[in-house]
Amino acid sequence: MVLSVSERTFAQEVFQASTPVLVHFWAPWCGLCRAIDPTLASFEAQWAGKVKLLGVNADQSLKLANTYRLTSLPTLIWFEGDRARFRFEHYQGREELRQTLDAWMLATQRSSQTQRLQPQQVANR
């Protein structure tokens, strides 16, 4: 089950998370939003403890919808701290979504491994 956040809890749940956060902007009337739920749940289970999945009802959180300039639903935004790093719109199918999510996760892991290296380790690569 995806944890729902509101405008009031968004900053705490997203910006202060100890892992990357995948935010699923959705609406109750959006069929595609419901259709991707199993793919998101599977992704969250596969990467348990390494990514946090949150849902935002865009109809009830208009300020967030405007802040992140939503033009279509579903929209997925990958946050690392307070920085939106990746964005997924215009859903084309489960396989494309799954490949995109896995690519984001792997890019995030590579980025964090590079950041942990000391400067001389990077120079010797």
Which CATH entry fits the domain spanning 3-117: 1.10.1200.10, 2.60.120.380, 3.40.30.10, 2.170.190.11?
3.40.30.10
What local confidence, expressed as pLDDT, does residue 92 receive?
A: 87
- pTM of this prediction? 0.86
Report the alpha-carbon distance of residue 56 to residue 64 in Å, rounded. Answer: 9
Report the alpha-carbon distance of residue 63 to residue 12 in Å, rounded. Answer: 16
Q: Kindly list the domain boundaries of the chain, sorted by start residue.
A: 3-117
Considering just the CA atoms, what is the radius of gyration of the chain in Å?
15
pLDDT tens digits, 10-22: 999 999 999 999 9
Pair 97, 39: CB distance under 8 Å: yes
Number of DSSP helices (H) and strands (E) in the chain, helices first: 6, 5
pLDDT tens digits, 21-48: 999 999 999 999 999 999 999 999 999 9
Using CA atoms, how far residue 104 sits from 19, 59, 111, in Å, is: 13, 27, 10
Catalytic residue numbers, as ranges: 30, 33
3-state secondary structure of 116: helix
Report the alpha-carbon distance of residue 121 to residue 114 in Å, rounded. Answer: 9
Report the alpha-carbon distance of residue 76 to residue 97 in Å, rounded. Answer: 10
